[in-house]
Structure 1
Amino acid sequence: MVNLKLYLLKKELQILIVSIFFVLFVFFARYVIESIPCLQYALILFIVYILVSFLRFVKVVSCIMIFIYGFILFLCSRVFLSIFDSSILFESDKYVFYTFADTTVLEVLLILSVSFVSVIIGYLSSYAKSDFKAKDYTQFTSQASSYVYTDKQLQKILYYLILLSAPGVLYKGMHDLMLIKQYGYLIMFMEMPPAPFFARASWGFFNIVFPMLLMFVPSRKQFKYYCVLFFLVSSVSFLQGSRSTLLAPIVYFIWFYYSFYSTKKISVKNIACFILFVAFVAQGILFLRDKDASFNLSISQMLFALFYSQGATYVLLGNYLDYSSDFANSTRYSILFSLCTTFLWFFNPLYRKGQSEELVQHTLSLDDQLMYAVNPELYLSGVGYGSSYIAELYQLGGVLALIIGSYLIGRIIKWYERNYNKSYTYVYFSWFIIPHLIWTSRGSYFPSPFLIMIGVLFYVTLRAVVVTWNKRKLKDAFF
């Protein structure tokens, strides 16, 4: 144990020293010599170094690695592809077509480098003594042993509630799929005819209740059964063309399995197979969504298409730098939008009418502001650009806000890795946190709290009802 502790401390110190030199070099390359190749290859080498170093003492599917995978895929895949063709760094080819200026590319590479190294430093600087001890994966269940009877009752109730909601979820999936077949994928982002209330309520209920089954950390056999149940109930929704709808739960279930049931290391061969599987599935879903997409591709072409298309968030950053001065609502607080978007939809009719010129004048959404700035016609037709936590932080306070915000991400990830198995609440939150970690690079800094709040309120109420019922039965038994 002492040797392990010394090894980790040495490795951590080594990475921190390399990170400091990397930061100094990045600012030198950006502001002194203004060299795009220096920034480009420095970022690539640093990412590779972090991957190799972390995989020696961090799980392949740990929270920090999931974040890093998302960062590489959505923000840096075009940087890696530029090794073969440097012009990729200069292409704005998403919704507005032009060539980035050198200053734009330099700034994008700078903020990518600064954000990534800040997350790494934040993660490494939050080590505690408990990090050098072997994790006890039975700790969570043993602490809850006094509530076993109540927990079993709750699991049974939740299971039957999920079965009751399944027909409505399937109906909503069929309803949305028929609309997509008729009007195209963009109908999902416009004011489309809603599914019946029972179907919409079932869908929301299913997404709130299902993770509650997992927060009790069921047996390995039960877990596998619940995974199959989830994919069966959600099967129609996967056919609608949204890659995140399918890939997010896959990533989550893999993380859950290796966090609670298995201590085995994942081999490089399995990782390679998973990447190929993701590429195949992503291209297949794209084919379902876009009839012009080609499915007759070689493996290398499929991988290139995957990384090139998913790396469009790099283009978003370049477009943001070039068009932020043209935003209809020049705010610095787009980072707050994800915290209030659902509540605005309920309480402000403007947010239920779809994308409009009136909406873009009032909304904090970086997605709306950027899309309207680069292509108003596409925006008004319902097209969205997405967002990135990097753009939100940069908008909030430039490089300084980017450093602080990214550093906090690293510290929060480390805190959650240390505590995720210590309470039912933390396990429940993992359903929302793990997908957010991989999608935050192309999404908002904060996850939407609405479903989390509704879920916690529902669980607290249900548990209170069950506990009260048990107390009443116990009282009747004695008297």
Structure 2
Amino acid sequence: MNKVLSILLISFSIGILLIPISEINLKIIEMNLIGLYIYILFYLYRIKKNLSILFIFLVSFGIFNLSKIIVSILYREDWTRILFFKEYIINERIQIEMIQIVLIHLVGIFIGIILYNRKKRIEKIIKSDLSLKKICRLLILISIIPLIYKYKVELEFIRNNGYLSLYNGTFTSHQFPIWTKGWNMLFTYSYYLYLASIPTEKEFKKYTLLFISLKLISALKGGRTEFATDLLFLISYYTILYKRKIKWKAFLIGLIGGGVFYFIGNLRANNLVVSNIKLIEKIKNFILEQGMSFYILSINKEYLNEYLNPKLQIIAPFLDEIQRLKNPKLFLTQSLELLDKSYNLNYHLSYKYIPNEFLKGAGIGSNYLAEVYNFGGILFCGISGIILSYMILLLEDNLFKSRFTFYISIPIILNLFISPRGNLFPFLFRFYPYIIFYIFILGMIKVLKVIQKNNLEMR
């Protein structure tokens, strides 16, 4: 029955894509899109019997790309006319094309899941490393107090200079006290490597609570993305390694987390006035705010012919790294010079859409689907969906194959969860600290073991 229903859903979705745009009813294609999305989530959960990296990615995908349509169906609101920095209206043809891009990508993702489900899985869990665990715990505890003071100094600076100081070069060019340098990196990478040591479930909960608490303080600066992706990553780690199902308590935590995010959003906008809007309206508004990434597909099509080379935008994280090595200061501020050197879709689209605000440090964000569409058109959106879901499932099954495999997969997974409002591939410069820190810590452990062995032999 499930196979028949799956085939029917895929066939119906492809059939809709083959109908000329002029003959398509917008509501029918909307309902088909949402129906397919919900079915994929149920199908994936059933075959995995728990949450998974792909499931969490699809939840993120839905929040950023489908929330506007879902809310419009439930509340009978028009999603085609919005205030996104300025009033923005989408014509009917572009509306249908936007949904078609998302629909064919979801069809591809579903096909990838079905193809991978035939593959025989071999689970391999690396053994716990006590030496690595001890070193990482020590480094985590050492960095806590300096890190809290660092966040305090940074929060005071942002409060005095405004949220955009994070993006217009004011924050990065400011000379903070020398003692504030490096503590966030030490704390974060020590924790990630601590996870690679395979702690017990009790140890994991203890240090994860500490990690999340400090990352929440960091999120008060206005950057909610890092906190959200870390939280999603830890959920996937917990369910995969310890084989635990997320219970009703997790939904309560999710609601609280959503409320915290909404508060941080108000704080970022300096809007601390208590409104009379009901809680349901607050949740609705929060969801709608995240759904703005869906409009990147429309704005992208509007300016597609004005890009120098849109096909290269999908590999901007690699090409931009070359420019970053040549001129590190180039990426500290948003400027016309940056547009001449970078292929990042967010930069170019933001400048086309809100030029003055872009030069002041603002941006409209991105969407990996726009990169995929620019590279190979709507057909490639379907092909990329097949490849993407297959590779995510393959990554998950091999996540704990080796300690280094797991550790180096962390930046890939973190980027994956935010890619519906960012780039498909992670920037290369994000890998360097992981690799350097990994080599340094493991090298230090080997040296300590040699010293300990020599001391024992001398006795």
TM-score of the superposed pair, with normalisation by structure 1: 0.86
Please give the secondary structure, in 2, of the residue aligned with 1:248: helix
Task: Tell me if structure 2 keeps the 8 A contact 1:168–1:203.
Answer: no
Q: What's the offset of the Cα at 1:260?
A: 2.0
Task: Tell me if structure 1 keeps the 8 A contact 2:21–2:93.
Answer: no
Task: Decide whether aligned partners of structure 1 residues 413 and 346 sit closer, same or farther in structure 2, where only a CA change above 3 A counts.
Answer: same
Residue 99, structure 1, aligned to residue 84, structure 2: no
Alignment-derived partner of residue 60 in structure 2: 70
Alignment-derived partner of residue 169 in structure 1: 147
Amino acid at match of 1:378: E
Alignment-derived partner of residue 117 in structure 1: 107
Residue 213, structure 1, aligned to residue 190, structure 2: no
Task: Tell me if structure 2 keeps the 8 A contact 1:320–1:370.
Answer: yes
Task: Decide whether aligned partners of structure 1 residues 34 and 175 sit closer, same or farther in structure 2, where only a CA change above 3 A counts.
Answer: same
Superposition pairs of residues 222-241 of structure 1, within 5 angstroms: 222-241=203-222
Superposition pairs of residues 39-54 of structure 1, within 5 angstroms: 39-54=29-44
Superposition pairs of residues 386-465 of structure 1, within 5 angstroms: 386-465=365-444
Alignment-derived partner of residue 358 in structure 2: 379
1:171-223: per-residue Cα shift (whole Å, max 9, x none)? 33223211221121111111121433442322223332320001111012211
Residue 324, structure 1, aligned to residue 292, structure 2: no
1:9-32: per-residue Cα shift (whole Å, max 9, x none)? x74x44651353133223134536
Please give the secondary structure, in 2, of the residue aligned with 1:384: coil
Amino acid at match of 2:36: F
Match of 2:125 among 134, 137, 140: 140
Task: Decide whether aligned partners of structure 1 residues 36 and 212 sit closer, same or farther in structure 2, where only a CA change above 3 A counts.
Answer: same
1:285-322: per-residue Cα shift (whole Å, max 9, x none)? 11211223665432210221121111001112111111
Match of 1:261 among 219, 228, 242: 242
Please give the secondary structure, in 2, of the residue aligned with 1:117: helix
Q: What's the offset of the Cα at 1:75?
A: 0.4
Please give the secondary structure, in 2, of the residue aligned with 1:241: coil
Structure 2: gaps spanning 5 or more residues? none
Q: What's the offset of the Cα at 1:360?
A: 1.5
Amino acid at match of 1:214: L
Match of 1:361 among 315, 337, 340: 340
Superposed CA RMSD in Å reads 2.6
Task: Decide whether aligned partners of structure 1 residues 335 and 455 sit closer, same or farther in structure 2, where only a CA change above 3 A counts.
Answer: same
Match of 1:201 among 182, 190, 197: 182
Alignment partners' CA distance in 1, 2:309 and 2:392: 31
Task: Decide whether aligned partners of structure 1 residues 478 and 205 sit closer, same or farther in structure 2, where only a CA change above 3 A counts.
Answer: closer
Q: What's the offset of the Cα at 1:372?
A: 0.5
Task: Tell me if structure 2 keeps the 8 A contact 1:340–1:448.
Answer: no
Residue 333, structure 1, aligned to residue 276, structure 2: no
Superposition pairs of residues 242-261 of structure 1, within 5 angstroms: 242-261=223-242
Q: What's the offset of the Cα at 1:161?
A: 2.4
TM-score of the superposed pair, with normalisation by structure 2: 0.90
1:34-54: per-residue Cα shift (whole Å, max 9, x none)? 321121111011112222333
Please give the secondary structure, in 2, of the residue aligned with 1:444: coil
Superposition pairs of residues 15-26 of structure 1, within 5 angstroms: 16-26=6-16
Bigger Cα displacement from structure 2, 40-49 vs 25-34: 25-34
Q: What's the offset of the Cα at 1:398?
A: 0.9
Structure 1: gaps spanning 5 or more residues? 1-9
Alignment partners' CA distance in 2, 1:391 and 1:56: 30
1:204-248: per-residue Cα shift (whole Å, max 9, x none)? 233323200011110122112211221344353122122223322
How much identity, in percent, do the aligned residues show? 24
Task: Decide whether aligned partners of structure 1 residues 275 and 220 sit closer, same or farther in structure 2, where only a CA change above 3 A counts.
Answer: closer
Amino acid at match of 1:180: I
Q: What's the offset of the Cα at 1:109?
A: 0.3
Task: Decide whether aligned partners of structure 1 residues 416 and 190 sit closer, same or farther in structure 2, where only a CA change above 3 A counts.
Answer: same
Task: Tell me if structure 2 keeps the 8 A contact 1:30–1:110.
Answer: no
Alignment partners' CA distance in 1, 2:194 and 2:86: 45
